[in-house]
Amino acid sequence: MSDIAERVKKIVAEHLGVEPEKVTENASFIDDLGADSLDTVELVMAFEEEFSTEIPDDAAETILTVGDAIKFLEKNAG
Amino acid sequence: MRRVVVTGLGMVTPLACGVEPSWRRLLAGQSGASLVDRFDVSDLPCKIACMIPRGDGTADSFNPDDWMEPKEQRKVDDFIIFAMAAAQQALDDAGWHPTSYEDQTVSGVLIGSGIGGIEGIAESAHILRERGPRRISPFFIPGRLINLAGGYVSIAHGLKGPNHAVVTACSTGAHAIGDAGRLIALGDADVMVAGGTESTVNRLSLAGFAACKALCTSFNDAPERGSRPYDRDRDGFVMGEGAGIVVLEEYEHAKARGAKIYAELIGYGLSGDAFHITAPSPDGDGAFRCMTAALKRAGLTAADVDYINAHGTSTMADEIELRAVERLLGNSAANVSMSSTKSSIGHLLGAAGAVEAIFSVLAIRDQIAPATLNLENPSVDTPIDLVPLKARSRPIETALSNSFGFGGTNASLLFAKVDR
């Protein structure tokens, strides 16, 4: 598992208050991890913070699963 | 109109988390005041406050994790967490956990706060200035809005009836309970979870109230002696924090389910001073009129009043209220006990009226008037028993609870034993 994947999963588990085992790449923030739409906005902000990057709104809308976030950040972050 | 009774109590105060431990410590004459150590007070004229005893939940301390998920706590200011704790206690005490659609839709919430999430607003303003709008959390607004205390409580407990909030500075808690009682009396709800909550022990709030010259500044080296209503050495209020929430219920509804009934809310009066933004009208006419209105609503006269929980903030306003009460009571003044429990817990601002309403209800239950601590040298003579220093057992059939707020907003609640 890449360093980015690990950091993403840690942020997701912390922000959504879920067990780390549940944070798999296929897990959907809303359907599987109990997030609401506000939680997902905050998650994107946390990713931006952690990876010192900016995630544009149209890209943020396509980040629905843990794997989506990892893929986006592997491509666009540091 | 339908009768309204109190069937559940909940509170988080600077004395304890919970109604009974707070009440026990109040009657024992304990003070919740101490030197502020949560943030820098070195440059503030007032360095003391009455703070919630935070801890792991043992020894009656307040552990936020007992009342709200940690991931939810992160999103809100403390006033919402305090409200969640007090509401849970009150609903558990009342044994009212509505699950059917019918029960949920007749159960409402009316919780106010004087100031709401001032700490989170201040922090977010810093973030906005230093890092720009993209760093503002989506939870910034919903975690600070005053009516979100009630919002969170309603979601946690499935309360689908009226969902309302009051904002009237230091009268908030009293207005919330009074207005909730009216909603029940008029048939808009059968059960209301009502009260006030406040979390203003922070640098910005202390600086703001200090600028108003409202805070105690002479007792930084003896915090427990700072809140001293009616005493000649008083010099301002001591800030408190916490929440008080009651379950109000329509009398027949409570009887039908065999609920424990603490007292009946028999009167509620409101008035305005129309005088000054922070100072009460020196003639005390606003206070007099709201107390009179509460008695009139109850169909009682001043001679029927046994105990008064005063607004008594330990400021220049103490004597104005005292004169208004003397005017109200006339010849029966000598039969009445009036105390300010702010001498023990400080001034909980938007939560004060609700916590003090609960103390008034307990005074009726236990037939005891809590003390006015630190009242060593009364600033004025009065025939009214101000219950100096020690709680006093006495017959209490009725209790009046006063709250007066910035903006000249006044409220009085009148409680009585049921089926006197």
- Does B134 touch chain A if contact means CB atoms closer than 8 Å? yes
Please state the separation of Cα B306 from the chain's center in Å: 20
Q: Are residues B327 and B211 in the same domain?
A: no
Q: Are residues B45 and B190 in the same domain?
A: yes
CATH code of the domain covering residue A17: 1.10.1200.10
Q: Are residues B341 and B380 in the same domain?
A: yes
CA distances from B137 to A39, A45, A73, B119 (A): 10, 8, 21, 14
Q: Which residues of chain B fall short of a pLDDT of 70?
A: 420
| Chain A residues whose C-beta sits inside 8 Å of any chain B C-beta | 15-17, 38, 41-42, 45, 48-49, 54
| pLDDT given for residue B94 in this prediction | 98
Question: Which of B263, B288, B312 corresponds to the end of one domain?
Answer: B263
| pLDDT given for residue B419 in this prediction | 76
The DSSP secondary-structure symbol of A28 reads: B
From the list A17, A45, A54, the residue facing B137 with the nearest CB is A45
Contacts of A10 (CB under 8 A, 6+ apart): A20
Q: Are residues B214 and B284 in the same domain?
A: no
Question: Which of B263, B286, B311 corresponds to the end of one domain?
Answer: B263
Identify the helix (H) or strand (E) that includes residue B252: helix B251-256
Active-site hit among B17, B46, B50, B170: B170
- Identify the domain containing residue A41 by its residue range: 1-76
From the list A17, A38, A45, the residue facing B69 with the nearest CB is A17
Active-site hit among A36, A57, A58, A68: A36
Q: How far apart are CA B295 and CA B286, in angstroms?
A: 14
Tokens 């630190």, residue located: B374
Paired tokens of B304 = 């029927």
Residue of chain B minimizing CA distance to A37: B138
Q: How far apart are CA B237 and CA B216, in angstroms?
A: 5
- Cβ of B142 within 8 Å of Cβ of A54? The answer is no
* Residue A78 pLDDT greater than 70, yes or no: no
- Does B137 touch chain A if contact means CB atoms closer than 8 Å? yes
Q: Are residues B112 and B142 in the same domain?
A: yes
Substitution target from B76, B124, B137, B152 for chain A, most A beta carbons within 10 A: B137
In angstroms, the separation between the Cα of residue B63 and the nearest Cα of chain A is: 18
Q: What is the pLDDT of residues B352-377, one digit of tens each?
A: 999 999 999 999 999 999 999 999 99
Output the DSSP codes for B153-165: HHHHHT--S-EE-
- Cβ of B137 within 8 Å of Cβ of A48? The answer is no
Domains held by chain B: number: 2
Q: Are strands B163-164 and B107-112 parallel, antiparallel or unpaired?
A: parallel
Q: Are residues B216 and B256 in the same domain?
A: yes
> Which of chain A's residues have a Cβ under 8 Å away from the Cβ of B69?
17
Q: Are residues B77 and B172 in the same domain?
A: yes
> Where would I find the H helices in B60-215?
70-73, 78-94, 101-105, 118-131, 148-157, 172-185, 203-211
Strand partners, B409: B272, B405
> Which of chain B's residues have a Cβ under 8 Å away from the Cβ of A45?
134-135, 137
Q: Are residues B231 and B298 in the same domain?
A: no
Nearest Cα neighbor of B178 from B383, B28, B401 is B401
CA torsion B147-B171-B200-B309 (nearest 10°) is -130
| pLDDT given for residue A2 in this prediction | 78
Q: Are residues B220 and B283 in the same domain?
A: no
Identify the helix (H) or strand (E) that includes residue A42: helix A37-51
Sheet with B107-112: strands ordered across: B163-164, B107-112, B191-198, B242-250, B4-12, B263-272, B409-416, B398-405, B307-309, B337-339
Residue A58 annotated as catalytic: no
CATH code of the domain covering residue B274: 3.40.47.10
Q: How far apart are CA B416 and CA B420, in angstroms?
A: 8
Q: Are residues B105 and B74 in the same domain?
A: yes
- Identify the domain containing residue B254 by its residue range: 4-263
Q: How far apart are CA B33 and CA B41, in angstroms?
A: 15
Provide the pLDDT confidence category of residue A77 given band limits of 50, 70 and 90.
confident
Q: Are residues B206 and B183 in the same domain?
A: yes
- Does B132 touch chain A if contact means CB atoms closer than 8 Å? no
From the list B71, B135, B137, the residue facing A16 with the nearest CB is B71
Paired tokens of B72 = 């939810």
Q: Are residues B231 and B326 in the same domain?
A: no
Question: Which of B232, B263, B294 corresponds to the end of one domain?
Answer: B263
* Residue A32 pLDDT greater than 60, yes or no: yes
B29 backbone φψ class: left, alpha, beta (φ>0; ψ -120 to 50):
left
Domains held by chain A: number: 1
